[in-house]
Amino acid sequence: MGRRPWSKGSGGLVCCIISPLPASLMAPDRGEGMKPKEQALPFLWSGLIYVLCLGLAYLAVRSETRAIETGQIPPLPTVSAGQAGFPIAYFFAVVVLLGVFLFLIPVSRLKLVLRVLFGFAFAWGSFVLFWLLLQHSPPATLNSVTIIAAVAALAVAAVWLWRPAIWLHDILLMFTLVSMASVFGVIFSPWTAIVIMAMISVYDFIAVRFGYMQWMARKLSESDTLPAFFVPYSAGNWNASLKAAALKRLFERAGEKEFSVLGGGDIGFPLLLVVSVLDTSGPGKGMIVAGFSLMGLAAAYLVLILVMKGRPTPALPPIFALSLAGFLLVNFVL
């Protein structure tokens, strides 16, 4: 049996850390004078982030498949749609527990713990991705590849813990979501991914509608941790720290905002589906589903701008709807 450089247990822990804020799309209104270019900027950056994640996921899955074929890692199990109940229950249990902890325990006491957990998640995601991209070396050099990937992952996570710049945070979140999709997208069948996305889309709508998502985001932002992508309206803010006062103001009702926020799940869950389709049906059908999910992201921003007028918007429902349309197309028509 080959050696596996990561485990389902560590991946599950990362899901605990990253997934509780799956899809709260917040691009706060900057006021009546907001220009069309400023309105389009968050979508353009979010679209670019998603496309980069798709490219990295394709490379990672291709390497993962080769590693399984050569025995460097053992074959991963498959979770069918009928077994989707456990990951869904796991997700909601984490959401409830996190909410209870944030309600009962002052964030000041949780700050260090949350930052360490996020640092671990980013280190895990970076390690898995680095290992997959480097593991084309012969089996004799596998140990050196593992060491290089581990050292690099620990280094970038340490830099994030020292100074969590926006650009670094977004990149490490990309790495982590790609790694999660690369592992669990191969484990989950496409229909399992569909069932999970459907259930969490309902949760996303309800959580944003009744303010739970915004409350959780506000609490997590007080600890300088948030599983979301930040897109600054000004290029100079890419180097801002997560500790910056401008980010604290994101979740205040009044005042001009300097960042748009896209929940990590708005990228992670469609990426999970795309990887699952890619693994089972090939890159052609995977790219079709990816294109539809990208259209779903565009639709979410249109709802945000035209309907919600910049108010917090549940992004996962339109992303899921278009992703489902693409999946049904490749599954029953093409």
- Predicted confidence (pLDDT) per residue in 22-32, tens digit: 444 544 445 44
Q: Tally Cβ neighbours within 10 Å of residue 192.
A: 24
Burial letters 242-263, b for 16+ CB under 10 A, else e: bebebbebbbeeeeebbbbbbb
Q: What is the pLDDT of residues 11-66, one digit of tens each?
A: 444 454 445 444 445 444 454 455 656 667 778 888 999 999 999 999 999 998 88
Asked which of 76-85, 122-131, 231-240, 300-309 is least confident by mean pLDDT, the reply is 76-85
pLDDT at 152: 95
Q: What is the pLDDT of residues 125-146, one digit of tens each?
A: 999 999 998 876 555 466 788 8
pLDDT at 217: 79
Q: What is the pLDDT of residues 284-296, one digit of tens each?
A: 999 999 999 999 9
Q: Delimit the domains of the chain by residue range.
A: 14-333
pLDDT at 273: 95
Structure tokens at 326: 């693409």
Write down the residue that tokens 């795309």 correspond to.
274
d(CA 164, CA 210): 30
pLDDT confidence of 270, banded at 50, 70, 90? very high
The residue ranking higher by pLDDT, 34 or 321, is 321
pLDDT at 220: 78
The pTM score is: 0.87
pLDDT at 36: 58
pLDDT at 17: 47
Residue 235 predicted with pLDDT over 80: no
Highest mean pLDDT out of 25-34, 69-78, 122-131, 298-307:
122-131
Structure tokens at 334: 């093409």
The residue ranking higher by pLDDT, 330 or 15, is 330
State what percent of residues in the chain have pLDDT above 90.
34
pLDDT at 22: 43
